[in-house]
Amino acid sequence: MAYEVEAPKYVRLAQTIQSRIEDGAYAPGTRVPSENQLVQAFGVSRPTVVRALELLKRDGWLESRQGYGTIVRGRPAVVEQKDRRGVEALARDESQSQGRLIAVESVPVPVRVASALGLPKRAQVLMRRFLVEEDGEPVELVSSYFPAGLVEGTELADVEPLSGGSRAHLEARKKVRFDHVTERVSARLPEAGEAELLDLPAGIPVLSVLVIAHDAAGQALQVSDVLLPADRQELEDTYRLN
C-alpha cells in the first residue's frame, strides 16, 4: 500500500528558509534571522534550527562569516562539468540504453538515501536498478530510489524498461519540476552482489556517486546511487538542470 512519510522538522524548516531565499524574502548577501528569532518565528527547538542551517550551508544556500553571522548566498552557483552523472541518471532511457534492467522492487530505504529523502530508516522506497554496459561489458550500476508517494500513478514500478528517463516521466505524470541536482562522491569497496554485477576482482573499489534531484523548494524527488570503478576523494557539486 502506498503511503507518504512526512520529512523531519529540520528538513521542513530548511525547505521553508530555502523557499524564502528563492522568493527574495531573504536576499543574497544579507544575514538570516538569528537562531533565537528562527525558534520564535517557526515554533521549533534550537537543535532543529541548528540542523536546518547546517543543511543549508552544506548545500550552498548559506555561509558563515566570522564576526558577521550566517549569510544568504542565494541559489548555489552553477558548476560546469564535462561528466555529469546526475543528468545521465535522470535522463537515461532504459529502453534505448545499452545494458539491462536488473531489479524493480520495494526495499527498505538505505541509510544514505533515507537522509537525502528525509525519510525514517524503516521506510519503504521503490528501487530501479539498471546495469549499464558497453560492448557487452558492465561499466556502471545505477540504483534509483523513489518515495512511495511519488510512485503512485506512474510506470516506475513496472518491470519493463522505462522510456524517456525518470525525470521526464515524473514531470509528465506527477506534474513536479526538477530544478537542481546535488552529487556526493565517495570511494568504497563494493558489496558482493555489486562486485559480481560489475565483474570486479576482489579488493577493487567503486566510486559511489549519490545523485540527489531536488525541486525548486529543495525537496528531494529522486536519489540515484551510481557505482563505477574509482579511487577518488569525496566531493560535492550542485548545478541547475535547465
* pTM of the model as a whole: 0.63
Half-sphere exposure at residue 37, Cβ-oriented, CA atoms within 13 angstroms? 6
Question: Using one digit for the tens of pLDDT, what is the confidence trace for 135-175?
Answer: 889 999 999 999 999 999 999 999 999 999 999 999 999 99
Q: How far apart are CA 206 and CA 232, in angstroms?
A: 9
Question: What is the per-residue pLDDT for 140?
Answer: 92
Question: What is the per-residue pLDDT for 231?
Answer: 35
Sign (positive/negative) of CA torsion 124, 212, 58, 176? negative
Question: What is the per-residue pLDDT for 235?
Answer: 42
Unique residue bearing C-alpha cell 550566517: 70
Q: Enumerate residue ranges in the chain where pLDDT < 50.
A: 1-5, 77-83, 231-237, 239
Cell numbers for 42, please give them. Answer: 517557526
Question: Using one digit for the tens of pLDDT, what is the confidence trace for 166-199?
Answer: 999 999 999 999 988 888 877 788 889 999 999 9
CB 241 within 8 A of CB 179: yes
| 40, burial (CB in 10 Å: exposed 0-12, middle 13-18, buried 19+) | exposed
User: From the CB of residue 21, how many other CB atoms can be counted at a distance below 10 Å?
Assistant: 21
- Residue whose C-alpha is closest to residue 199's, from 227, 160, 231: 227
H-state helical runs in 190-231: 192-197
Question: What is the per-residue pLDDT for 79?
Answer: 32
